[in-house]
Amino acid sequence: MSDGADTINTRRKGRITVALAVVTLAAVSVPAVIFAWTSSTEIRFVEQTDRAGLTHTHHTRLFRGKTGDVLHVFTSGGASVAIGDYDNDGFDDVFVTDSDIGRKCRLFHNNGNLTFTDVTAAAGVAGGNDQHSIVADAVWFDYDNDGREDLLVVRFGTPLLYHNEGHGKFKDVTASAGLNKFGNTIAAIAFDYDNDGYLDLLFGNYFQPADLLNLKTPHVLPNNLDNAINGGGVTLWHNTGKGSFVDATQQAGFDKHTGWTTDVGHGDFNNDGLQDVYLACDYGTDRIFFNNGNGTFREATEKAIGFDTKKGMNVDVADYDNDGWLDIYVTNITDEYMKECNMLWHNNGDGTFTDVSKETGTCATLWGWAAKFGDFDNDGWQDLFVVNGLRSAGKENYVSTLVNMIIQPGIDFSDLNNWPPVGNMTWSGFQKKKMFHNMGGQSFQEISSAAGVDNDRDGRGIGMADFDNDGRLDLYQTNVDQPSMFYRNVTERVGNWVQLKLIGTYANRDAIGARVKLTAGGLTQIREVNGGNGYAGQSMSRLHFGLGNASKVEAVEIHCREGQGIVSK
Amino acid sequence: MMRAIQFGHAAAALIVGLAAYGAPASPEASFQAAQKARATGDLTAALAGFETALALDPDNIRYGSEYRQAAIQAKEYERSLKFFEKLVADHPNSAKAHLNYGFAYVDKIPAAGSITQVILANTALTEFTRSIDISPSWIAYYTRGNSYLFWPKVFLRAPLGVADLEKAYGMQKAGPKRTYHVRVYISLGDGYWKTDNMDKARAIWTEGLREFPDNAQLKARLARNGDDLKTYIDNELDPNKRVDTNLQELWASE
């Protein structure tokens, strides 16, 4: 990463561009040494968790009573990671969550040499797991555009917002920010849905807003295992620009969604310059909403993707085939006893998507959780890493016990008391992670064993970043009730690369939602800055482009807002 | 007198009207009318006609089978289930009605979510069992045995499937050879394979191929080994794919 900012001149066009010259290219980095990339490059990672000082073990909340272990499994999703450069030193730092009462979340400062220092205590961001709340996810975002990444921690409970005070200190500003609504939030993204220059928040809520730690009713589980409508839906928080947020869920048109939202993702799916939304839902239909550009969204699920009955877990967004349209990847459950198949939604460019997961070889990843696209060998085609596994425990299999409950005529699935105790049984456990090498945008080849990432822990989140700024994307994998894993990318003879850090001036400072179109070696690629796409994980906000053999970037266009603000070099 | 004449006219008009609409006087006439309606694409009339025929002859396996095919065509899974539910309630000892009721659940499986598939599959088994309890038959044992094989191994149902299919095998060996008997050779072998008895699987498939030398499914199984065979059989037993539950082979072979 170059320290010197390389500002790109803007070519303004159209009446809107005056307002749209909002993104400056603060740094364009090209590796000092250019390696000759070949298509036979073998992607390889080595685990260096302890050596890097990134050791962290997650703990799921323990619940009391005879139904406690069922709730324990149902809430075992809160092992998450958020990557962000909180001190603006050019090296991405790591925030990881824990979930059991009294357990601490951790902030690891990147020392710049692939080692990290636990700075949690000094930063004051350890809290969140108390008698009323369970930490589930976290997002870095600069809500007040002061140039410092603030930290949002969402919970089964009320959220926490930490303002970055600088010098490694954070201040809890939740109360003044107005983020006081109770929800069982499992996912969050930051994006500027109304293009007012301030980052808003979209929460994905799993359970309905019932206090799981003080249950008033046992009817808190899904009322249908394929078409549940008693989940928590989503909450949209509009940033007022004055340090506070207001609930805009109904106003924006999200209030009709009552599914079990597991993940939320955003991107400009129809190339109109506006940020659209995809909701992955457990126990039923995923939802897609297009942005109307006036602070409201229109649901387009039926036409765009149709109604599914799967167990959606993850939303990641990328143009995997470099056709200029953002595609969407959703993990589901594809195990011995349930053959749902993931969904790789190929964007048809007309407001509709076609699932090509079977055709591309990305269908089966067992009990899937987070999935992230990233160009691990810098060949210009984004690869894919998927983590999986629900619960690795004893030899007995919970599924065979569970089926006896499921087939009982008229059984009320929502009643906790009807679910058999889990005890020490395994449920879709000991599953090998999956890594897919993108074969030119047409298909993917599974390479997890050769790449060294086929661990069998109970994965949840993925944080992807170039932690040592060597032009190779590294990975941090969180696991539930197990230690996290840090994988350093040691792929040799990778292609050339460029990373862009965008800084908004009139737009939101993080430039979330800005799109870069880059052409090199005859290949045009697009990336968008996102605010936390991917289940239980936020990845590096710098945009990473693999260039293959190309040693020169032919064109860069940066689009934001209405898609008219074009910056070129 | 005047009233009687008027009544007579009304009755005559009704009879003429029914004749004009092809109103059947027997279950077979209803069935044939329904078949015609289905052939012309009038699925609403076809379903109604099949239902009339079945109400009059609930144990007719052919009527039930053709009705279900029309229901699949019209995606009227719920209507079919409700109809058979009432039919077996009205005729609890009708083995073939229970069999077709079970098939109606199977017919809905590809259109359902993964958990609902489990529920439907299990309910289908319940109906197949009732059919066997009322009147054990080759088709009932074959159907239930084959259904068990669709369950993942973790649910430990494959041995039950093998037991049923062995019964069906014994029945078919005791009688004249029918073309549909090849199904038991295929499924029984699949059952042995699924219960990790590869030698018996190959033996029964080989025997089946001797009996039915042109059968492509038997040849395909015998030509495969290991993961290749697993992929092939898993694909054959994929609950997301529609199982052909058309029973016309039964009467076509008679």
- What mean pLDDT do residues A290-300 have? 98
Q: For residue range A123-138, list pLDDT tens digits in order.
A: 999 999 999 999 999 9
DSSP letter, residue A504:
E
pLDDT value at B3 more than 70: no
Of A22-31, A401-410, B72-81, which range is least confident?
A22-31
pLDDT tens digits, residue range B196-230? Answer: 999 999 999 999 999 999 999 999 999 999 999 99
Mind telling me how many Å the CA of B66 is from chain A's nearest CA?
28
Question: How many angstroms away from the CA of B249 is the closest CA of chain A?
Answer: 30
Between these two residues, A6 and B236, which has the higher pLDDT value?
A: B236
Q: What pLDDT was estimated at residue B25? A: 67
| B102 located within any domain | no
- Residue A373, sorted as left (phi over 0), alpha (psi -120 to 50) or beta, turns out to be beta
A115 interfaces chain B, CB cutoff of 8 Å: no
pLDDT band at residue A25 under the 50/70/90 scheme: very low
**pLDDT level of residue A121 (50, 70, 90 thresholds):** very high
**pLDDT surpassing 50 at residue A278:** yes
CB of B7 less than 8 A from some CB of A: no
Q: What is the rounded distance in angstroms from the CA atom of residue B141 to the CA atom of residue B184?
A: 10
Long-range contacts of range A397-404, CB-CB < 8 Å, 24 or more positions apart? Answer: A397/A425, A397/A426, A397/A427, A397/B154, A398/A422, A398/A425, A398/A426, A398/A427, A399/A337, A399/A427, A399/A428, A399/B154, A399/B155, A400/B154, A400/B155, A400/B156, A401/A425, A402/A427, A403/A337, A403/B118, A403/B155
Which residues sit opposite A140 in a β-bridge? A151
pTM assigned to the model: 0.89
Asked if A422 and A70 touch (Cβ cutoff 8 Å), the reply is yes
Query: Shortest Cα distance from A202 to chain B (angstroms)?
Result: 28
* Boundaries of domain holding B21: 1-57
List, as ranges, residues 379-408 from A with C-beta within 8 Å of B: 397, 399-400, 403, 406-407
Residue A17 has pLDDT above 80, yes or no: no
Average pLDDT over residues A364-387: 98
Q: Please state, in angstroms and rounded to a whole number, the distance separating the CA atoms of residues B37 and B35.
A: 5
The pLDDT assigned to B241 comes to 87
CA distance A455 to chain B (A): 23
Q: Return the pLDDT at A365.
A: 98
Confidence of residue B254 (pLDDT cuts 50, 70, 90): low
Does residue B174 lie within any of the structural domains? yes
The yes-or-no verdict on residue A20 having pLDDT over 70 is no
Nearest CB partner across the interface for B113, out of A226, A397, A407: A226
Question: Pseudo-torsion of CA A32, A38, A43, A44, nearest 10°?
Answer: -60
Q: Between chain A and chain B, how many beta carbons pairs sit less than 8 Å apart?
A: 47
Residues 6+ apart with CB under 8 A from A139: A82, A151, A152, A154, A188, A189, A190, A201, A531, A532, A538
Q: How many CA atoms lie within 13 A of A345 on its CB side?
A: 32
Domain end among B25, B57, B89: B57
At residue B109, the 3 state secondary structure works out as helix
* Domain count along chain B: 2
CA distance B176 to chain A (A): 39
The residues in A 232-291 lying below 8 A from B, measured between CB atoms, are 284
3-state secondary structure A347-409: ECCCCCEEECHHHHCCCCCEEEEEEEEECCCCCCCCEEEEEECCECCCCCEHHHHHHHHHCCC
A interface test, pick of B114, B126, B153, B236 with most A CB neighbours within 10 Å: B114
pLDDT (0 to 100) of residue A361: 98
Q: Do B155 and A309 touch (CB under 8 A)?
A: no
Distance CA A88, CA A92 (A): 8
Quick one: pLDDT at residue A39? 55
pLDDT of residue B19: 40
More confident residue, A16 or A284: A284
Q: Which of A4-8, A242-246, B38-42, B75-79 has the lowest mean pLDDT?
A: A4-8
Say yes or no for a CB contact (<8 Å) between A338 and B240.
Answer: no
Residue B23 predicted with pLDDT over 60: no
Domain assignment present for residue B8? The answer is: yes
Does some domain include residue B41? yes
Q: Of B57, B76, B103, which one is at a domain's C-terminal end?
A: B57
DSSP B179: G
3-state secondary structure of A315: coil
pLDDT of residue A560: 78
Question: Chain B partners of A284 at a C-beta cutoff of 8 Å?
Answer: 113
Q: What is the dihedral of CA A122, A124, A130, A134, to 10 degrees?
A: -110
- Is residue B250 in a domain? no
Helical (H) or strand (E) element with A288: strand A287-291
Task: Indicate left, alpha or beta for A55 from its phi (over 0: left) and psi (-120 to 50: alpha).
Answer: beta
Among B19, B41, B57, the domain boundary falls at: B57
Distance, in angstroms, between A427 CA and closest chain B CA?
A: 11
Instruction: Give domain status of residue B194, yes or no.
Output: yes
Cα(B105)–Cα(A94) distance, integer angstroms: 51
Q: What is the ipTM of this complex?
A: 0.80
pLDDT tens by residue, A453-509? 999 999 999 999 999 999 999 999 999 999 999 999 999 999 999 999 999 988 899
Residues of chain A in contact with residue B123, where contact means CB-CB under 8 angstroms, are: 407, 409
| Token pair 């179109």 in the structure block, residue | A517
Q: Which residues of A touch B238 (CB under 8 A)?
A: 339
Nearest to B154 among A225, A309, A336 (CB): A336
Which residue type occupies A568?
S
A226 touches chain B (CB under 8 A): yes
Domain annotation covers residue B43:
yes
**Contact call for A311 and B153, based on CB within 8 A:** no
Q: What is the mean pLDDT of chain A?
A: 92
Q: What CATH number is associated with residue B211? A: 1.25.40
Yes or no, beta carbons of A397 and B115 under 8 Å apart: no
> What is the share, in percent, of chain A residues with pLDDT greater than 90?
89
Six-digit token pair at A300? 């387009």
B118 touches chain A (CB under 8 A): yes
Total residues found in chain A within this entry: 569
- B129 vs A contacts (CB less than 8 Å): none
In this predicted structure, which of A271-280, A427-436, B232-241 has the lowest mean pLDDT?
B232-241
Do the Cβ atoms of A337 and B154 come within 8 Å? yes
Residue A46 CB neighbour total at 10 angstroms:
12
Is residue B44 domain-resident?
yes
Q: Which residues of A touch B152 (CB under 8 A)?
A: 336-337
Q: Which of B119, B123, B238 sits opposite A339 (nearest CB)?
A: B238
